[in-house]
């Protein structure tokens, strides 16, 4: 049976928001490990983005922001961007890039639980946001998914 479970999607591998966007598709957001447990070491939240435009006389570059933040009362998780020496902090973590809308992109954040845990529920709700606009133009288009993690 372990072989078959390898093909099963994790509940922490969430299909992305693709509604009405001509330039990007947020294919999915994945949390590793697949059991959705939030531990004290750093785990990964990975955004998988697909560019939808081929070179057709449009500017392929977009200003993009990726953000992770805890929902609710918060204080149960800390986030860091994918750096050599990640710096964890409570609240939200955001990074900005210029991306080409003609190809795929992945982006990783780190997350870990806060010890000691605050009183209350053991669930951690994480909002994952990918927003973009054509460089120098507005409005921003936003893709959002949420992950539900459980403190290990």
Q: pLDDT tens digits, residue range 35-47? A: 899 988 889 999 9
Least confident range from 16-20, 87-91, 121-125: namely: 16-20
Tokens 């001509």: give the residue.
22
Confidence label for 48 from pLDDT (cuts 50, 70 and 90): very high
Helices (H), the chain: 2-5
Instruction: Specify the pTM.
Output: 0.86
Distance CA 57, CA 37 (A): 46
* pLDDT value at residue 102: 85
DSSP 100-142: ETTSEEEEEEEEEE-SSPPSS-SEEEEEEEEEEEETT--PPEE
Q: Is the pLDDT of residue 88 over 50?
A: yes
73 phi-psi bin (left φ>0, alpha ψ -120 to 50, beta other):
alpha
Asked whether the beta carbons of 128 and 17 are under 8 A apart, the reply is no
Q: Who contacts 118 (Cβ-Cβ below 8 Å, separation ≥6)?
A: 73, 75, 76
Instruction: Domains for the chain: give ranges and CATH numbers.
Output: 21-122+133-151 (2.60.40)
| DSSP 8-state secondary structure symbol assigned to residue 143 | E
Span 80-99, average pLDDT: 89
Model pLDDT, residue 103: 85
- Where does the pLDDT of residue 1 fall: very low under 50, low under 70, confident under 90, or very high at 90 and above? very low
pLDDT for residue 132 is more than 50? yes
């Amino acid at each position: 049976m372990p072989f078959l479970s390898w093909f099963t999607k994790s509940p922490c591998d969430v299909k992305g928001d693709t509604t009405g966007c001509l330039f990007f598709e947020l294919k999915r957001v994945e949390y590793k490990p697949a059991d959705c447990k939030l531990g004290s070491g750093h785990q990964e939240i990975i955004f998988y983005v697909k560019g939808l435009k081929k070179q057709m006389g449009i500017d392929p570059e977009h200003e993009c922001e990726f953000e992770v933040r805890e929902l609710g009362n918060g204080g149960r998780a800390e986030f860091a961007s994918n750096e050599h020496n990640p710096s964890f902090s409570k609240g939200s973590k955001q990074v900005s890039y210029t991306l080409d809308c003609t190809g795929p992109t992945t982006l990783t954040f780190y997350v870990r639980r806060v010890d000691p845990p605050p009183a209350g529920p053991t669930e951690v709700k994480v909002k994952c946001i990918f927003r973009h606009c054509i460089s120098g133009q507005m409005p921003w288009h936003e893709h959002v998914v949420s992950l539900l993690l459980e403190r290990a």
